[in-house]
Amino acid sequence: MKTALARLGLLAALVLAWEGAARAGSPLLYVPPSSALPALRDLLLLRSYPDLPSHLLLTVREIAIAYALSVGAGLAVGFALGLYRTVGRAYGPILAALYAVPSVVWYPSLMLFFGLDAASKIAFGFLLGFFPITLAVLAGIRQVNPQLVTVARAFGARPLTIFLKVLVPGMLFTLVGGLRTGLALSVIGVIVGEVLGSKAGMGALINHAYGLLRTADYVALVVLTLAVIAASDVAASLLERRAQRWTE
Amino acid sequence: MKAGTPRIVLIQVVSLGLALVTWEGLARAGWVDPLFVPAPSAVARSFGSMAGLALGGLADTLGKTAVAYVLAVVLGVAAGVAIGSARALNDVLHPFVVALYGIPKILVLPWIVLLLGYGTAPAVAYGALHGFFPVMVIVIGAVRDVDRTLITVARAFGARPWQLYLKVVLPAIVPSVIAAMRLGLVFCLLGVLVVEMFAGIRGMGYVMSSLANAFRAPELFAATGLVSIASIAIVLALDALNERLSRWR
């Protein structure tokens, strides 16, 4: 209770400090909450950007496709590397080395190859989401007690049964954690791609507002984008909690 | 990364070689458009023509990254120790830390560029911001995980607060700090590259995005390879250092 009050107090103090500091500075650079809120209202009422819904929808669609691809490929590669020892030992280190490269290095090549439209954003979101999912599968497989697999095999379980009844439940917690991280990174990938160069989507609108020094609109767009991201993360955390309860 | 057995290394070398040969073959046979996917031989040739440009850009980028990295690690560790060791502070700040850590920093990049202009300053600021949060979050966790009995015993023996930090807390969190430093480096480099692509006038990110905009694919692939090799080498060097440190401890 006391902590909650202190949090609220801190939040209020931060908002007030921002308001005070922003009013003292140039309105082109600093946006106080008192002008961010009207800008947000205008944005939501489609006054400042009448075609907002189509841009928002495009971003959400790019994220959905990128994430679906990274889940599919991440699970496939993760299980291939984790279940076949030689494959894992040969290609695991190569994958780990690629993971040490700052991901944005790949973006110019993707933009050259896929162009400025949605495909390059989907490709980048896919690339970012793919690694944590693959790595989570690998970590999860290592967690499963090998004796369980031996016992199941001794009782005549088929490979598919072992996979579904022993392996997946044993690693579910780690797997779901990786899926959640993958979603967060797919989202970041798509948005980074849009901000670095695009013709449509939330990133393009953000760049437009920033480029024209419509700073209040820029802040409103950022707040809206953050709300979408937060919603996706809340949904993912609910699923995670569900999986957690199931494994206990 | 552990060095594999000869058989594993053989598989790795053969598959990388096969991939290169296949790629070269596809490009020569015209199955992929060399405008977008140049053959490995063309990429290798372009290394010579752009080495000066690329190495200059890389040096510029790594210089900015170094400054951003020092800022991120020093501030991140300091904030992490401060927040982690005061229980009430940690409880109050927790949601703020999680929220700030979680939001995609790219959304504030346009504002940073508005404030600081083009060039070096926004790259350093954004790189440091990018690296700061992961370092801080790891250090907070590490400080919270320090064995309580160690602290109680040290207090019982009359350790002063500064002795407590220097002799108990700091040594206990060293492994986490090193892990945080490894992660922070990749984050800082990523941040600097993003700014250079978004609002750069120099540096590797700027070089790469100009090459992409000019459709100079061989040079772009060569530059991408160069940055990748550099960052893998830096991370491997940090790992080696880490291993040596842990053996010494």
CA distance A180 to chain B (A): 12
Structure tokens at B61: 């980028």
pLDDT of res. B22: 87
Tell me what the mean pLDDT of segment A204-218 comes to: 90
pLDDT at A62 over 90: yes
pLDDT of res. B63: 94
Tell me what the mean pLDDT of segment B155-167 comes to: 82
Structure tokens at A145: 């007690």
Residue pointed to by tokens 């994958």: A95
CB contact under 8 A, A100 and B186: yes
CA distance linking residue B203 with residue B194, whole number of Å: 11
CA distance linking residue A116 with residue A199, whole number of Å: 7
Place B127 in a pLDDT band, splitting at 50, 70 and 90: very high
pTM more than 0.80: yes
pLDDT of res. A247: 66
Are B8 and A89 spatial neighbours (Cβ–Cβ below 8 Å)?
yes
pLDDT of res. B58: 92
Q: Which of A96, A111, A222 sits opposite B212 (nearest CB)?
A: A111
CA distance A198 to chain B (A): 12
CA distance B114 to chain A (A): 7
Q: Which range, A66-70, B137-141, B215-219, B220-224, is most confident? A: A66-70
- Beta-carbon count within 10 A of A89 CB: 17
CB contact under 8 A, A108 and B215: no
Tell me what the mean pLDDT of segment B136-165 comes to: 85
Mutate to test the interface with B, among A8, A109, A212, A232 (most CBs of B within 10 A): A109
Mutate to test the interface with B, among A14, A112, A233 (most CBs of B within 10 A): A112
Structure tokens at A143: 């967690």
pLDDT of res. B3: 54
pLDDT, chain A, mean: 88
pLDDT top residue among B63 and B201:
B63
Structure tokens at A119: 């495909």
CB contact under 8 A, B220 and A218: no
- Return the percentage of chain A with pLDDT > 70, whole number: 99
Q: Where are the domains of chain B?
A: 47-245
Q: Is A233 on the interface with B (CB under 8 A)?
A: yes
pLDDT at B243 over 90: no
Q: Express each pLDDT in B24-39 by its tens digit.
A: 888 888 777 777 788 8
* Chain A residues closer than 8 Å to B92 by CB: 3, 6-7, 10
pLDDT top residue among B31 and B134:
B134
Are A212 and A48 spatial neighbours (Cβ–Cβ below 8 Å)?
no
* B47-245 fold: MetI-like fold (1.10.3720)
Q: Express each pLDDT in A154-183 by its tens digit.
A: 888 888 888 888 888 888 888 888 999 999
Q: Express each pLDDT in A29-54 by its tens digit.
A: 888 888 888 889 988 888 888 899 99
Nearest-Cα residue of chain A relative to residue B188: A102
Q: Which amino acid is at B190?
A: L
Place A147 in a pLDDT band, splitting at 50, 70 and 90: confident
pLDDT of res. B242: 79
pLDDT of res. A104: 92
Q: Express each pLDDT in B170-213 by its tens digit.
A: 888 888 888 888 889 999 999 999 999 998 888 899 999 998 88
Q: Is B6 on the interface with A (CB under 8 A)?
A: no
Are A186 and A59 spatial neighbours (Cβ–Cβ below 8 Å)?
no
Nearest-Cα residue of chain A relative to residue B194: A104
Q: Which of B4, B96, B198 sits opposite A89 (nearest CB)?
A: B4
Place B248 in a pLDDT band, splitting at 50, 70 and 90: low
pLDDT of res. B4: 61
pLDDT-wise least confident of A81-85, A189-193, B33-37? B33-37
CA distance linking residue A2 with residue A9, whole number of Å: 10
ipTM, two decimals: 0.87
Are B178 and B245 spatial neighbours (Cβ–Cβ below 8 Å)?
yes
Place B132 in a pLDDT band, splitting at 50, 70 and 90: very high
pLDDT of res. B1: 44
CA distance linking residue B95 with residue B118, whole number of Å: 33
CA distance linking residue A196 with residue B199, whole number of Å: 9
* Chain A residues closer than 8 Å to B222 by CB: none
Residue ranges of A 152-191 with Cβ closer than 8 A to chain B: 184, 187-188, 191
Nearest-Cα residue of chain A relative to residue B32: A113
CB contact under 8 A, A218 and B194: no
Tell me what the mean pLDDT of segment A108-117 comes to: 88
Are B61 and B237 spatial neighbours (Cβ–Cβ below 8 Å)?
no
Q: Is B242 on the interface with A (CB under 8 A)?
A: no
CB contact under 8 A, A104 and B197: yes
Tell me what the mean pLDDT of segment A85-94 comes to: 84
Which pairs with CB-CB distance under 8 Å and at least 24 residues apart come from A222-229?
A222/B107, A222/B108, A223/A36, A223/A40, A224/A40, A224/A43, A224/A44, A224/A56, A225/A59, A225/A191, A225/B107, A226/B103, A226/B107, A228/A56, A228/A59, A228/A60, A228/A202, A229/A187, A229/A191, A229/B103, A229/B104
* Chain B residues closer than 8 Å to A1 by CB: none
pLDDT-wise least confident of A189-198, A205-214, B48-57? B48-57
Tell me what the mean pLDDT of segment B83-101 comes to: 87
Q: DSSP secondary-structure letter at A28? A: T
Q: Indicate if the alpha-carbon torsion angle A226, A235, B127, A100 is positive or negative.
A: negative
CB contact under 8 A, A7 and B92: yes
Residue pointed to by tokens 């393009």: A204
For helices A168-196 and A107-114, what crossing angle results, to 10°?
A: 70
pLDDT of res. A130: 95
Are B118 and B112 spatial neighbours (Cβ–Cβ below 8 Å)?
no
Angle at B188 between CA B226 and CA A114, to 5 degrees: 55
CB contact under 8 A, B197 and A184: no
Angle at B21 between CA B20 and CA B23, to 5 degrees: 65
Q: Which of B107, B198, B228 sits opposite A222 (nearest CB)?
A: B107
CA distance linking residue B146 with residue B173, whole number of Å: 7
Are B15 and B194 spatial neighbours (Cβ–Cβ below 8 Å)?
no
Q: Is B106 on the interface with A (CB under 8 A)?
A: yes
pLDDT of res. A248: 62
Task: Look at residue A50 and give its three-state secondary structure.
Answer: coil
For chain A, what is the radius of gyration of the CA atoms?
A: 23
Q: Express each pLDDT in B36-52 by its tens digit.
A: 788 888 888 888 888 88
